[in-house]
Amino acid sequence: MVPEDLPPVNGPWVSLKGVVINNDLQILHETQVQFDTDLPEFRTHGGVVTAEDGHTITAPTLLWVKALDLLLDQLKLAGADYTSIAAISGTAQQHGSVYWQRGARHTLQSLEASKFLHEQLARSFSTPNSPVWMDSSTTAQCRQLEQAVGGAQKLAEITGSTAYERFTASQIAKLSQTKPSVYNSTERISLVSSFACSMFLGDYADIDYSDGSGMNLLDIHSKEWSQICLDATAPNLIDKLGTPVASSSIQGPISQYFVERFDFNPDCKVASFTGDNPASLIGMCLTEGNIAVSLGTSDTLFLWLRSPQTLLEGHILCNPVDKEAYMALLCFKNGSLTRERVRDDCAEGSWELFNELLDSTPRGNFGNMGLYFDVQEIIPFVKGDHRFNKANDRVHRFTSMEVEVRALVEGQFLAKRAHAEDLGFNIEAGSRIIATGGASNNKSILQVLSDVFNAPVFVLVRVSGSLSIYKYRYPTQFRKYTVLSLQEAANSAMLGSAYQAKHALVAEHTSFSEMTSCLPPPVLACQPYKDAAQVYNPMLARYRRLVKSILDTI
């Protein structure tokens, strides 16, 4: 059972990856450990274990520890020179949690270099299985939390999200209610990211603001744990969480264990680790005023927000690059698969023909407008095909395939703009859209995106399917600034955490933009036509009215 509200932006968590980059942010070494096949003794499927109820989905915590043992050996075999690593950061799935047994801190602080981590940490967890982001077994705890704080809206105002089953608060509440002795014997609760960080630190790492905002526990405005949420979740919880810290902070020097076992330099710094979504924002080098649009199986928007609006749908997180700012994610389930369906219906399954049809219709589509949702959409909460003519009358069919194709693409992007603006995103002069994902190869689709948002669209250069990886030669003089990043899955998030490792080192005197200026810039794909605002601003208002009329009839 996968929760319906937010498909994984970065795919399932099936592996642990490590990458070493140099001072110019170029990749030196990369390797990965596949959970199911490299560690079959844990009997995971897709990196997780699903209980018979179909809702309880966990991962054996020790699997992740053993994967780290393997990965560090593999990276070394691949030629990584650990003596030159200046900083380490990492990213992991958001929301998942790890429960350290009383006494585990002492074990972390006194790891023996001659032994594997998994041998020494085998008895360090009060529950052997960590709930992961796919878990949906905590509906009762979600309702309790919302009720205790004064309703869903109030919870969203404090923590950036209404209560979600996978979020950590309801997972902790479930543990405390169903296994109080396990909860009471827990010395510390980590997110998966801060758990991984703890191993490098040789002590409990603090949770960073961005990953912490996926818990329903952090007050995203004060950046402190919310007392009302803590009280509603479990007794004495604050004692088990540590202090939240900025995502670009250094947590301390690397543990002596890694110095002795792998020859890490004792000066190597451990930066905060963060969640996959914040790390993706870093990896795409998103900056203020810009928006990233991932056009994959589902479509996802990443927004950089200065003053977020709290909505019942969508998630506001603390921004991992700028601690005064926020970020939001908006996921639209009806993305490429819906475009493929209309392509198959109207264009014989050919993107070329689809584009010819799209390009042959004018901006504004003669006043016709369509909204297409093959599966229940999250925002707006609508399903089915909805077509309207110029007079806003419902029609069953449009007069031509051309009109149908344009109605689909315009409708999809109007929805994205409307809901991005609802969350507080404003397109300003200088705003840019960064397009990624499979459909970002399609210039005709990107042109409509550019026109609807009235902003230029850029694409990231891709080599071998990953973001901004360039086959440069690696100058040896930069090796002392080598940075190591660890992550399960997704390249943008992985690179993001590697960039964050360097950012944490230089943040005091160098901005993130300056630091990443050595990367080749995104490439301009489309500019909006001059009449774009004139055409699409009124259509945006119409989109809102039409969605309201559809929702009123449900």
Find the part of the chain contacting ligand ADP (CB under 6 A) among 25-33, 321-329, 436-444, 506-514. 436-444
CA angle 182, 186, 188 (to 5 degrees): 155
- How far apart are alpha carbons 445 and 504 in whole angstroms? 37
Q: Does the footprint of ligand ADP cover residue 338 (CB under 6 A)?
A: no
Closest approach, Cβ 292 to ligand ADP, in A, equals 13
Shortest distance in whole angstroms from residue 465 CB to ligand ADP: 8
Q: Which stretch binds ligand ADP (CB under 6 A): 169-177, 209-217, 386-394, 434-442?
A: 434-442
336 binds ligand ADP (CB under 6 A): yes
Tokens in use for 423? 């969350």
Residue 438 found at the interface with ligand ADP (CB under 6 A): yes
Q: Are the C-beta atoms of residues 361 and 402 closer than 8 Å to each other? A: yes
Q: How many residues bind ligand ADP (CB under 6 A)?
A: 12
Question: What is the smallest separation between the CB atom of 400 and ligand ADP, expressed in angstroms?
Answer: 20
Give the nearer residue to ligand ADP in terms of CB position, either 158 or 446.
446
List 139, 441, 510, 511, residue binding ligand ADP (CB under 6 A): 441
Member of 351, 366, 474, 529 binding ligand ADP (CB under 6 A): 351
User: Which CB atom, from 3 or from 438, has the smaller least distance to ligand ADP?
Assistant: 438
CB of 302 to ligand ADP, least distance (A): 14
Q: How far is the CB of 450 from ligand ADP (least distance, A)?
A: 15
**437 lines the binding site for ligand ADP (CB under 6 A):** yes
46 binds ligand ADP (CB under 6 A): no
Nearest-CB residue for ligand ADP: 438
Q: Where are the alpha helices (DSSP H) in 152-245?
A: 152-159, 168-178, 180-184, 192-201, 209-212, 227-233
Whole-angstrom CA distances from 103 to 110, 115, 309, 404, 505 are: 11, 19, 42, 63, 31
Of 336 and 368, nearer to ligand ADP (C-beta) is 336
Interaction between residue 3 and ligand ADP (CB under 6 A): no
Distances (CA, A) of 239 to 126, 164, 242, 273: 16, 23, 7, 21
Nearer to ligand ADP, 401 or 484 (CB): 401
Tokens of 309: 């609006």
Residue 296 interacts with ligand ADP (CB under 6 A): yes or no: yes
- C-alpha to C-alpha distance for 164 and 341, rounded to whole angstroms: 31
Nearer to ligand ADP, 234 or 445 (CB): 445
CB burial readout 334-349, b (16+ within 10 A) else e? bbbebbbebbeebbee
Q: How far is the CB of 441 from ligand ADP (least distance, A)?
A: 5
Q: Rounded to an integer, what is the distance from CA 259 to the centroid of its chain? A: 31
255 binds ligand ADP (CB under 6 A): no
* H-run or E-run covering 300: strand 299-305
- Helix, strand or coil for residue 442? coil
**Among residues 111 and 445, whose Cβ is nearest to ligand ADP?**
445
CA distance 448 to 36: 42
10 Å CB burial of residue 177 (0-12, 13-18, 19+) is middle
Stretch in the footprint of ligand ADP (CB under 6 A) among 279-287, 333-341, 466-474, 521-529? 333-341
- Smallest separation, CB 156 to ligand ADP (Å): 27
Q: Which of 155, 178, 230, 195 is nearest to 68 (CA)?
A: 195
- List, in sequence order, the alpha helices (H) in 441-508: 443-453, 491-506
Binding flag, residue 297, ligand ADP (CB under 6 A): yes
Both structure tokens of 47: 């990196």
Q: How far is the CB of 177 from ligand ADP (least distance, A)?
A: 36
Q: At what angle do helices 139-149 and 168-178 cross, to 10 degrees?
A: 110
Give Cα separations from 60 to 48, 115, 380, 459, 501 (angstroms).
8, 20, 36, 38, 27
Contact window for ligand ADP (CB under 6 A) among 15-23, 382-390, 411-419, 440-448? 440-448
* Residue 496 binding ligand ADP, by CB under 6 A: no
CB of 262 or CB of 351, closer to ligand ADP: 351
Residue keyed to tokens 């878990």? 135
Strand extents, DSSP E, 51-183: 57-60, 85-92, 97-101, 129-131
340 near ligand ADP (CB under 6 A): yes
Task: Compare residues 286 and 409 and give the one whose CB is closer to ligand ADP.
Answer: 409
Min separation Cβ 16 and ligand ADP, Å: 19
**Any contact of residue 213 with ligand ADP (CB under 6 A)?**
no
**Under rule CB under 6 A, residue 265 binds ligand ADP:** no
DSSP secondary structure letter of residue 432: -
Residues 445-484 that bind ligand ADP (CB under 6 A): 445
Q: Residue 442, interface with ligand ADP (CB under 6 A)?
A: yes
Task: Name which of residues 359 to 418 contact ligand ADP (CB under 6 A).
Answer: none
Measured from the CB atom, is 439 or 519 closer to ligand ADP?
439
Task: With contacts defined by CB under 6 A, name the span among 315-323, 418-426, 437-445, 540-548 that binds ligand ADP.
Answer: 437-445
Give Cα separations from 65 to 39, 119, 347, 377 (angstroms).
11, 9, 50, 37
The rounded distance, in Å, linking the Cα atoms of 460 and 445 is: 16
Q: Which two tokens stand for residue 134?
A: 């796919």
Residue 263 token pair: 């020859």
The stretch among 30-38, 48-56, 396-404, 438-446 that binds ligand ADP (CB under 6 A) is 438-446
By the criterion CB under 6 A, which residues form the site for ligand ADP? 296-297, 336, 339-340, 351, 437-439, 441-442, 445
